[in-house]
Chain A
């Protein structure tokens, strides 16, 4: 299982005020809040931690087959500049985050050594990019690949009824679209 989350930083800055009263308390654990308050760049850390929570949440949805707005159940921390861990329901996932001034993108999976393919692009073309990538892995033409979404919004990809890729995650925010899948 795999999860990913992309955050358009310009949009996050415009649409959300992380300094709003209650914003941190409702979504970040005490430890996370402390790291945010102690950070030299709290804005970036807020959204980086949020991307960890969302990427791990997408794994939780696949497992639990439920939806919830439960960010406090996902305790996150960075173990290095780009690596992190998220703990939820006695489980742990490893994360890898890519930062630049425009976006933050996090991929989460259980196996730290898992081989992951991920891409970031525009939200308009990301579905096609993903199909092209599956085409190059499987030889099935992109035009014949069908996306199906579970009732919880988890995508999987089929060709003439047979499953091509299931360990896959999509994310959209603002000017960015991203996907990742486990190389099997």
Chain B
């Protein structure tokens, strides 16, 4: 899966949790889950769990700690998929 396809899938995953439609519509790799999309911190774990289910990967705690932006999420997904 290329980066563009990954972003499309990630957008689908985060959509139920976002609280800022405009930031979501303009989502780029630099978009921050909390500061920009206003995802509640209590829902970040749902994003992590949904990513695990969607890509059939396991996100370890060290990776999860960093997963606050689209870019980092994509990097983690890519690296787990290539393992």
Contact = CB atoms under 8 A, between A and B. Distances in A.
By DSSP majority rule, is chain A's interface helix, strand, loop, or mixed? mixed
A69 B40 contact: no
A73 to B, nearest CB: 8
A15 B42 contact: yes
B49 A23 contact: yes
B42 A16 contact: yes
A12 interface: yes
Contact of B46 (A16, A50, A68, A173): A16
Interface string B19-43: 0000000000000001100001111
Contact of B49 (A7, A26, A54, A71): A26
26 contacts: A7-B42, A16-B42, A20-B46, A20-B49, A21-B49, A22-B45, A22-B49, A22-B52, A23-B46, A26-B45, A26-B48, A26-B49, A26-B64, A67-B34, A67-B68, A68-B65, A69-B44, A69-B45, A69-B48, A69-B64, A69-B66, A69-B68, A70-B61, A70-B64, A71-B45, A153-B35
B67 interface: yes
* Interface size of A as a range: 20 to 34
A27 interface: yes
Most A CB contacts (10 A, CB to CB) among B17, B64, B68 go to B64
A21 B82 CA distance: 25
A72 interface: yes
A16 B50 CA distance: 13
A12 B41 CA distance: 11
A20 B48 CA distance: 12
A70 B46 CA distance: 14
A8 to B, nearest CB: 10
Contacts of B46: 16, 20, 23
Contacts of B52: 22
Nearest to A174: B40
A72 B61 contact: yes
A50 B42 contact: yes
A69 B41 contact: yes
Contacts of A69: 41, 44-45, 48, 64-68
A3 B48 CA distance: 25
A22 B50 CA distance: 10
Contacts of B65: 68-70
